[in-house]
């Protein structure tokens, strides 16, 4: 078989598949656990363990650098749901335009959109604009903690029922989904799917002028 010719025997192939499995989270700022690294150290290819250790070191350095830059804030929500929860999430941002982003770590379109919006977030730094990121428990906590340090704004990781109560409020059926709240506290726009940076900048600018 082809894989046998490439890897030499079945054990090499299994090792390679295990490497792929455990390294999937590396691009989400999630380090590989020490117990797994020890498994790689027992494999026939020393390269596997060396690769994982190097990536772990790289990710930890990036996370620490982002932490020092600051600009991200992690919050804990109460047990409320629906309208009561929404009031709680935005109560500290009266008089500001609030851009709400529903996302999760496993959502590739969410991550792509967040990356595209980074310049926009920098443009509004220091202005009356707040970026509020909402994820739920389906985002593994290690991946979540690693990713949000580079996402400047305010972060909530809600229980499933809480996130669903907000999603259902606007009829959202998937992510990414977005809500724009004006300085008057009223919802101005809500939809599922990324509409592009220009679209959101236009909406934000319209609300800032009011």
The two three-digit tokens of residue 154, written as one number: 């305010």
**Topology of the domain covering 71-208:** Glutaredoxin (3.40.30)
**21-32 confidence digits (pLDDT tens):** 656 655 556 666
**144 or 35, greater pLDDT:** 144
Domain ranges of the chain: 2-67, 71-208
Q: Are 93 and 156 in contact (CB under 8 A)?
A: no
pLDDT in tens, 145-196: 888 988 999 999 999 999 999 999 999 999 999 999 999 999 999 999 999 9
What's the pLDDT at 29?
62
In this prediction the pTM is 0.74
More confident residue, 71 or 80: 80
Question: 111-134: per-residue pLDDT in tens?
Answer: 999 999 999 988 998 899 999 999
φ/ψ (deg, to 5) at 22: -80, -15
In the chain, beta strands by DSSP E: 72-75, 97-102, 129-136, 153-158, 177-181, 187-192
Angle in degrees, 0-180, between the axes of helices 197-208 and 108-123, rounded to the nearest 10? 40
Closest residue by Cα to residue 193 from 114, 81, 110: 110
Range in 16-30, 43-57, 185-199 the model is least confident about: 16-30
Q: Report the SS3 class of residue 75.
A: strand
For tokens 């726009």, the residue is 189
pLDDT confidence of residue 1: 44
pLDDT score at 55 = 72
Residue 192's DSSP bridge partners are: 177
The pLDDT value recorded for residue 15 is: 63
């Amino acid at each position: 078989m082809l894989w046998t010719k490439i890897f030499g025997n079945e054990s090499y192939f299994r090792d390679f598949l295990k490497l792929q499995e455990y390294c999937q989270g590396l691009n989400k700022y999630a380090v590989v656990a020490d117990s797994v690294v020890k498994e790689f150290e027992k494999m026939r290819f020393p390269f596997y363990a060396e690769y994982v250790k190097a990536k772990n070191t790289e990710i930890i350095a990036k996370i620490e650098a982002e932490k020092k830059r600051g600009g991200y804030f992690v919050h804990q929500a109460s047990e409320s749901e629906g309208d009561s929860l929404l009031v709680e999430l935005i109560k500290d941002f009266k008089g500001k335009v609030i851009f709400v982003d529903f996302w999760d770590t496993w959502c590739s379109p969410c991550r792509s959109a967040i990356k595209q919006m980074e310049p926009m977030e920098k443009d509004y730094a220091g202005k009356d604009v707040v970026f509020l990121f909402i994820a739920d428990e389906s985002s593994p906590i290690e991946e979540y903690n690693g990713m949000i340090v580079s996402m400047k704004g305010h972060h909530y990781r809600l229980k499933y029922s809480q996130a669903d109560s907000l999603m259902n409020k606007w009829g959202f059926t998937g992510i990414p989904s977005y809500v724009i709240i004006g300085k008057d506290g009223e919802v101005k726009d809500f939809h599922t799917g990324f509409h592009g940076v220009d679209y959101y900048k236009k909406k934000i600018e319209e609300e800032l002028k009011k």
